[in-house]
Structure 1
Amino acid sequence: MIYDDYSEEETNLQIEMLQNGFKKLGEQCRKVLHLFYYEEKKLDEIQSLLGYTNKDVLKSQKSRCLKQLKELSK
């Protein structure tokens, strides 16, 4: 079915754009997002692993990184 092929192609394009944006992020953002989304670590674990003194600072960092990733993936 043509629609299915287009949908898969569109999905692959979006994945590629995300991967390219991820590569452009700073090292700290890559670490935070990788630990949270790929390794499925909880914020408490990430805070300990990366040495954040405050969980709210980590939450803000993650939010800024996601926003940056969204911009870089356009």
Structure 2
Amino acid sequence: MRIYVNGDQREVEPGTLAVTLDALGYGGRKIATAVNGRFVAATARSAMPVNEGDKIEVVAPMQGG
């Protein structure tokens, strides 16, 4: 199924946000996520279905000074 991750089109298997993030290599990382503009807490990712055409944003914290 086709989704968009940080603006890039990707093909993934149907599943939850948690499964999709694992498949995309984000599993276990400290990240913030949003689906179609709505924040999804880490605790809710395993219950959040990913659907055809969804727009997923993944943001990782940055360090600097």
TM-score, with length taken from structure 2: 0.28
Larger radius of gyration: 1
* Greater helix fraction, Structure 1 or Structure 2: 1
Q: TM-score, normalised by structure 1?
A: 0.26
- Relative to its length, the structure with more strand (as a share) is 2
